Structure 1
Amino acid sequence: MAKMLYSVTMSLDGFIAGPGADMSWLTDHLGPNPVVDDLIGEVGALLVGANTYRGDDPHKNDEGAGKAFGGGWEGPQYVVTHHPPAESAPGVFFRTDVATALADAEAAAGDRYVNVLGADLARQCLEAGRLDEVLTFVAPVLLGDGTRLFHHPGGRTVQLERVHHSAVPHATALWFKVLSSAG
C-alpha cells in the first residue's frame, strides 16, 4: 500500500514560498541531492495542489521547467483543483476533491510513495490523518514572509519521529514519520 509523503524545501524561518508565492529563492538551493535522487525511484505518483501546479517554478529558467523534480521524475500526477482546465498534459489528471485524488494517486503508486506537493494540500492530508511522512530540506536562507510549511491558526500539535537526517548540498535533510496529531 502506498505511503503519503510530503516533501518540501523550506527556509530556516519556516517558509516554503516567499511573498506572493515566489519560488525564485529556491533556485540558489537546487542541485545534486542524494536524498532526492534516492527518493525519486520510490515515488509512484504525485498529489499536487492547485496553487503549486499553477505556481511559480524554481526551474523556470532551466531545462527542468514545468517538470516534476526539475525533470528527474516522470509518472502520474493528480492535481486537486476546483477549476480543472479543458485540456491537460499527458500523465496529469485533475480531480475536484482531495479524497478522490488521494484514492487515485494511491492506486497509481502501488507500494511506492505518493509525494504530496503543496502546503495547503499537505495540511489537508495531515488533518484527515492521511499523511504518513514529512521530508523537509532546510535551506540556509531567511525569507521573513510567505507561505509557512504548516499553518494552522490557533495551533495544532503533531507528534513526529525522526527517521533520517543528513547534510546534503545546499540544505539539511530532515525526514519524519507522522505519529499522531491532536487539535
Structure 2
Amino acid sequence: MARLLYSATMSLDGFIAGPGGDMSWLTGYLGPNPTIEALLAEIGAILVGNRSFRGDDPHRGDTEKEGKAFGGGWEGPQFVLTHHPPATPVPGITFCTDLDSAVVAARSAAGDRYVNIIGADVARQCLAANLLDEVLVCVAPVLLGDGVRLFAEPGGAQVELERLRSAEAPLANVLRFRVAR
C-alpha cells in the first residue's frame, strides 16, 4: 500500500511560504538536488491542498514550469483536497471534498509508490488522523521571519520522528524522517 510522504522546502526558521503564501523566496533554492530527483521516481500520486493548488507558484513567469508539479519534473495523478471543487473539470486533477476519500483515491492511484503531500494544512490533517508516514524537508539557508509554517498546530501534541537519512545538496540540506507510531 502507498505510504504518505509530506515533502517541502523550509526556511531555517520553519516557514514553507512567506507572508500571504508568497513562494517567490523559493526560486533561489530550486536546483540540483539528487535526493529530490530520486524521490520523483518514487511518487505515484500527489495529494495537494486547495491553497497550494491555487496559490503562489515559485515558477511564476516560467512558461515551461509554471503550474506543474515539481516544476514539470513529475507527472501523474493529482488529487486536490477542497471544500469547493470547481464547476469545470481540470484535466489530470481529481477534486476530493474530504480527507478520507482523498487519501483512499490517492493511495489507490499511487500503487506501491508514495503519495506525496503538498500543503501544510493537508499534512497537518494527515498527521492528526495518524495517516502520515514520512516527512522530507529541504532546509534552505534563509530566514523568512513570517509566513506559513511547516507544521502549525497551536496546542498540538508532540510527535516523535525517526531520522531515516540526511544529505547535503548545493542549495538546501535534506532531512528525511519516519513518523514514529
TM over 0.5, shorter chain: yes
Deviation of 1:155 after TM superposition, in Å, equals: 3.5
C-alpha distance in structure 2 between counterparts of 1:141 and 1:155, whole Å: 26
Q: Distance in 1 between matches of 2:84 and 2:9?
A: 27
Give 5+ residue unaligned stretches, structure 2: none
Q: Which runs of 5+ in 1 are unaligned?
A: none
Deviation at 1:90, TM superposition (A): 2.0
- Residue 61 of structure 1 corresponds to 61
The equivalent of 1:108 in structure 2 is 109
TM-score (norm 1): 0.96
Using the size of structure 2 for normalisation, the TM-score is 0.97
Shift in Å, 1:61: 2.2
Q: 3-state SS of the aligned residue for 1:6?
A: strand
Tell me the CA shift for residue 106 of structure 1: 0.2
- CA RMSD, 1 decimal: 0.8
Q: Write the letter of the residue equivalent to 2:49.
A: G
The 1-side partners of 2:5 and 2:95 are apart by 20
Residue in 2 that maps onto 1:155: 156
CA–CA distance in structure 2, aligned partners of residues 167 and 42 of structure 1 = 20
Give the AA of the match of 1:60: R
* SS of aligned partner of 1:111: coil
The Cα shift of 1:33 comes to 1.2
Name the structure with the higher strand share. 1
Offset at residue 60 of structure 1 (A): 1.0
Deviation per CA, 1:46-86, whole angstroms, max 9, x where unpaired?
00100000000001122210000000000000001011112
Instruction: Map Cα deviations across residues 100-126 of structure 1 (whole Å, 9 max, x no partner).
Output: 010000000000000000000000000
Aligned to 2:141: 140
Aligned partner of 1:51: which letter?
Answer: R
Aligned to 2:45: 45
Runs of 4+ residues over 6 Å off in structure 1: none
Identity across the alignment (%):
64
Give the secondary-structure state (helix, strand or coil) at the position aligned to 1:25. Answer: helix
Aligned residues: 180
